[in-house]
Amino acid sequence: MKTQKVITIITILILIIIICLASFLGIYQKKEYSVKNIVPNYILGMQLDKSRIVNLEVDTTDESVLTQENYDLSAKIIKKRLKDLETQEYNIRQSNNGNIQIEMAENDSTDEIIYNLQSKGTFELIDSESKEVLLNNDFIKDTDVAYGQTETQNTVYLQIKFNKEGKQKLEEISKTYIQTTTQSTNEEGEVEETESTKNVTILFDGQEYNETYFGEPITDGILNIQIGTSADMDILNQYVLVAEELSVILNSGVLPLTYNVTQYSTSSIIENKEIEIAIYVVIALLVILLVYSIVKFKLKGLLVFILEIGYISLLLLALRYTNIKLTLEGIIAIFVSSIINYLYLYDGFKNIENNFVKETTAKFAIKIIPMYIIAVVFTFNSIANISSLGMTLVWGILTMYLYNLILTRIALKTIQK
């Protein structure tokens, strides 16, 4: 029996060591002539990584538009675009003269987002010959992305839904701007057919996008503008991205102001010296935790400490594999989760004679109900840093129960025998 206990405890320790090694050193796999760490990197928030500072300075050429109303409207439109473009993390500030400064996380999407923020956001459907504006943003109700499919290819559309007045206008336009065929008789008495088209031109931000005509009347008030067709998924995804960005821009409204844009990158706000201090603090806390555990539970306290280290390592792995952005608030959530887990372990070892699942876990689960509420509420917060805190707490709680109901439960049953 004693041998079995030793084997079980050693097995638990080996599993924890493996978890720690994977979390702190990685898992390496040989690929051709090199080895690669297959554990995902942390996704760092802009507090911990590079960020981009974007200055939008109002172009003062046209003084008639330089009003507080336009300053506020432009800021509102830009904020909506940032949100709808799913900008992961940003801060935005507006000065009294209408200038706007945006600090955003540096990633693969940053340049594309900045480009879309500058877009005026105008849409026009014009007569290709006379250049008369037939429809514009004033008639748009909503936009979306739509898809079409054939046996071999897929097509992506920007779908523009018009309001009541726009719907009537679109129906009239679709009956007018069409291809017609006329018949005539030549000198030899033969009947000839001549095709002619009355075209419309689609403009985005004053730039010609497409010239076309209508095949049939549009009565539902929906104009589908073809973005691209392909059988290749990578190319198709690019078309989807273009359609989504156009949809976001048109839904946000037309910018009343024009901006001159300057930008630069910044490094993390946390310096290496501060990181070193933080590491020393963590080490000191772990030493205190180790000493306290041994004083409280004697030799069993060492197992408590090792189980705690294993939990922290597993949580860090979970955050990497779930692609949760790590922010300062997220680090606080890791610290809080670690404390909660230690209290869970403390209850388990203090009441070692109790049933770990039915008594210890059930009672502990009720005690931390407020933490569940905080985790869920913060997760769905629109502020990236707060959301990071919430999601980290959610995974901290899930990992805690999974980890302890397996390893800690087995460890407690083993040392009870």
Q: What is the average pLDDT score of the chain?
A: 89
Note the pLDDT of residue 47.
Answer: 72
Residues in the chain predicted with pLDDT less than 50, given as ranges, are none
Distance, in Å, from the CA atom of 154 to the CA atom of 192, rounded to the nearest integer, reads: 38
Q: How far apart are the first and last CA of the chain?
A: 8
Q: What is the pLDDT of residues 41-64, one digit of tens each?
A: 887 777 777 889 999 999 988 889
CB atoms within 10 A of CB 317: 19
Note the pLDDT of residue 308.
Answer: 94
Of 117, 384, 134, 161, whose CA–CA distance to 252 is shortest?
Answer: 117
Note the pLDDT of residue 305.
Answer: 93
Q: What is the pLDDT of residues 175-223, one digit of tens each?
A: 999 988 776 666 676 666 677 889 999 999 999 999 999 989 999 999 9
Cβ atoms of 229 and 149 closer than 8 Å: no
CB atoms within 10 A of CB 341: 25
Cβ atoms of 327 and 387 closer than 8 Å: no
Note the pLDDT of residue 381.
Answer: 75
Note the pLDDT of residue 242.
Answer: 94
For residue 15 the two structure tokens come to 């599993």
Distance, in Å, from the CA atom of 391 to the CA atom of 160, rounded to the nearest integer, reads: 35
Range list of H helices, 119-232 = 164-176
Note the pLDDT of residue 112.
Answer: 93
Distance, in Å, from the CA atom of 354 to the CA atom of 337, rounded to the nearest integer, reads: 24
Q: How far is CA 224 from CA 143, 145, 234, 240, 410, in A?
A: 10, 9, 22, 14, 61
